[in-house]
Amino acid sequence: MKLNENTEVYVDKLAIRNNIMTLGALVKNTSGKPESIEVKLAVKFENETETRILPLPITDTSIDEHGNYVGYAVFEYELDVLFANKDLNRFIVRLQAYNGSRYQDVTVDNQDFDQVKEENEYLCTVSEQRIVIKRKKPVTYLNHWILSFFCSIYRIIEFGIGTLLIPLFLLDGIYVVLLGKQRWLEEKTYGGNQIKRTILFAKWRYSSFCRWTINLATLKRLILNVSTSFLSLFCRKKCILFVSSRRSDVTGNIAYVNNVLQEKNADVLFWLEPGKTKFIKFRKVFCLAYKIAKSKVIIVDDYTPVLNDIWALKHRKLIQLWHACGAFKTFGFSRIGKDGGPNQTSRNHRSYDYAMVSSSEICRFYAEGFGIDEKSVKPLGVPRTDDFFDEEYKVKIRQRLYEQYPALQGKKVILFAPTFRGNGVGSAYYPFEKFDAGALLEQLGEEYILIIKHHPFVTDIHPVDEAVKGRVLDLSKESEINDLLFITDVLITDYSSVIFEASLLDIPMLFYAFDLEEYVVNRDFYYPFKNFVPGRIVRNLTDIICAVKEQQYEKEKVSSFKHRFFDDLDGRASERVADFVMELLN
């Protein structure tokens, strides 16, 4: 199929073996400018009740003998974890490609379908230019409380038998360790402690028999589940519970929504505990269980592992207030197949009933990232952006910042706010040598002052020459970046989502993308970067200096960008989200 005048996309391979579906697609571009091509593909799966979007990464590119771009995309999708209800009797597969403004379906005909292999229990056909996959022998799915009851009884019996067999597992461990029929651990690991080896072997046998990993985190999760289910029998579910593993106080989106809910006299509870499940103390596990039992709606503001696989969530509404605006860098399941991306079997994010976003433009990307249905993503706005429409708040913040940092007054403020490199907290860094603050300020003159605001994951201090230290403020560990935007004249960033908030204030932007090609390979974006960003792209410090001196920011892109990624520019996102929550509660 022709995607546009120069680009063709078509299905090259489709094969199903057991529960693995392999899909391949070929992309050809005849523009003669292969270096400027950014083709993006995705696959949309649909059954009778659910929709799931997953990326189809291009794994190989080349230039043919005529100088044309050829890209090949292939990926293996695990069908068992595709849909929440696991209904794989009949589902539709749509290959989608980005045409420069939106994703559109790639039509399929029988000629393109020659490479399809029908194997095992599946039958593949083409209907209305889309791929339809059916089981040859339909499977009946019993989603009934009776089935759940007998499954629970079976697991209890399995657990009981495994517990009774612990002495046998210990004897087996002694046999393995003393007779040396199987080495379980290297000698250096536990200093030759035979008792530890025996216990570890018995633990492994017990875990394998019961299909249950034995550790402190698993035990706490079991206690949390059992306690929550038991308390739910007696508690009246009438509360709204805010849960966060990101913050320890009522700030961010949580604060804005909570303020409106308090005005509506809602019964609100909080569980604000940064960290993971295994770090929660036993007494706090029971406290969380009680709060979940009392709640009908649970609201989170980021990835919250403490709520993974909680049985009681099936009877409550879980809402995600994601901390970022718009859709820029890929996250969650959009990173499948990339370094640091999740496994397809991961349950992270997939239990959300609803997710709040800033515009209808990006609903499909959040559905893809979270692994949920696109209908569950609501473009009601990002509550914490309400301050950008409050003139009194902006004046107050400016006054506070000028009092706190007198050097800012009367100066043109450049805010340098890049994102981190690496896969997360443990490996995050920024290549400081790429941004020489001293060289920049020496060229720009005394009228400019620089604020450095690195991502919270970057813990090292950005080095600054002694000659310009009086004109540089490193506020990476001190100030809220949104507040800094109110005094910013020019924003220099790279791939940070701060650009969405900056667009609300019409701030001119420069995009310092010195490693763009590498970043696309390792992280990637939801849109082709060069056609997406609302400002000028620069590749080195010289380009930055020239752009600032000549005031060449391509600022005309900001307005259309803002209206594209914010459906409502009225400062009432908190009200809309709170009203939605109250509807669910009532």
| Structural contact between residues 270 and 293, judged by C-beta atoms closer than 8 angstroms | no
d(CA 277, CA 33): 50
d(CA 540, CA 145): 62
Q: Where are the alpha helices (DSSP H) in 471-567?
A: 481-485, 498-504, 516-522, 529-532, 541-549, 557-565
| Structural contact between residues 550 and 531, judged by C-beta atoms closer than 8 angstroms | no
d(CA 363, CA 355): 9
Sheet holding 268-272, edge to edge: 268-272, 239-244, 295-300, 317-321, 354-356, 377-378
d(CA 88, CA 141): 10
User: How many CA atoms within 13 Å lie on the side-chain side of 555?
Assistant: 15
| Structural contact between residues 77 and 95, judged by C-beta atoms closer than 8 angstroms | no
Q: What is the model's pLDDT at position 15?
A: 84
Q: Which of 209-218, 264-273, 472-481 has the highest mean predicted lDDT (pLDDT)?
A: 264-273
Please count the residues of the chain: 586
* Among 500, 459, 563, CA closest to 322: 500
Q: Which residues are paired to 23 by β-bridges? A: 14, 75
- For residue range 380-424, list pLDDT tens digits in order: 999 999 999 999 999 999 999 999 999 999 999 999 999 998 877
Q: Do the bridges between strand 268-272 and strand 295-300 make them parallel or antiparallel, or are there none, so unpaired?
A: unpaired
Band the pLDDT of 181: cuts 50, 70, 90.
Answer: very low
Give the CATH H-level superfamily of domain 7-135: Carbohydrate binding type-21 domain (2.60.40.2440)
d(CA 103, CA 364): 10
Q: Residue type at 364?
A: R
Beta strand residue intervals within 303-458, DSSP E: 317-321, 354-356, 377-378, 412-416, 448-452
Q: What is the model's pLDDT at position 514?
A: 94
d(CA 454, CA 567): 29
Say if domain 216-385 classifies as CATH 3.40.50.11820.
Answer: yes
d(CA 494, CA 514): 9
Q: Residue type at 204?
A: W
* Among 312, 306, 249, 243, CA closest to 280: 306
Q: What is the model's pLDDT at position 261?
A: 96
- Please give the structure tokens belonging to residue 94: 């749509």
- Please give the structure tokens belonging to residue 564: 């594209």
Angle, CA of 66, 71 and 77, to the nearest 5°? 160
- For residue range 344-370, list pLDDT tens digits in order: 888 889 899 999 999 999 999 999 999
User: How many CA atoms within 13 Å lie on the side-chain side of 68?
Assistant: 12
Residue 182: pLDDT over 50: no
- For residue range 492-510, list pLDDT tens digits in order: 999 999 999 999 999 999 9
Band the pLDDT of 141: cuts 50, 70, 90.
Answer: low
DSSP 84-150: TT---SEEEEEEEEE-SSSEEEPP--TTGGGG-B--TTEEEEEETTEEEEEESS-------HHHHHH
- Please give the structure tokens belonging to residue 510: 């420069």
Please give the residue that has the higher pLDDT: either 144 or 579: 579
Q: What is the model's pLDDT at position 143?
A: 56
d(CA 278, CA 440): 46
| Structural contact between residues 317 and 584, judged by C-beta atoms closer than 8 angstroms | yes
Q: Which of 33-37, 176-180, 577-581 has the highest mean predicted lDDT (pLDDT)?
A: 577-581
- The angle that helices 573-585 and 252-263 make with each other, rounded to 10 degrees, is 60
Beta strand residue intervals within 372-459, DSSP E: 377-378, 412-416, 448-452
Band the pLDDT of 175: cuts 50, 70, 90.
Answer: confident
d(CA 354, CA 356): 7
Range in 44-48, 115-119, 288-292, 408-412 with the lowest mean pLDDT: 115-119
Please give the residue that has the higher pLDDT: either 224 or 424: 224
Residue 211: pLDDT over 80: no
Q: What is the model's pLDDT at position 204?
A: 83
Phi, then psi, of 570 in degrees rounded to 5: -125, -5
Say if domain 391-565 classifies as CATH 3.10.150.10.
Answer: no
- Please give the structure tokens belonging to residue 572: 């009432």
Residue 300: pLDDT over 80: yes
DSSP 219-282: HHHHHHHHHHHHHHTTS---EEEEEESS-SSS-HHHHHHHHHHHHTT--EEEEE--S-GGGS-H
Q: How far apart are the first and last CA of the chain?
A: 49
**Residue % of the chain over a pLDDT of 90:** 45
| Structural contact between residues 300 and 273, judged by C-beta atoms closer than 8 angstroms | no
Listed by start position, the domains of the chain span 7-135, 145-210, 216-385, 391-565
| Structural contact between residues 358 and 567, judged by C-beta atoms closer than 8 angstroms | yes
d(CA 220, CA 237): 23
Do 7-135 and 216-385 show the same overall fold? no
d(CA 193, CA 187): 9
d(CA 380, CA 573): 6
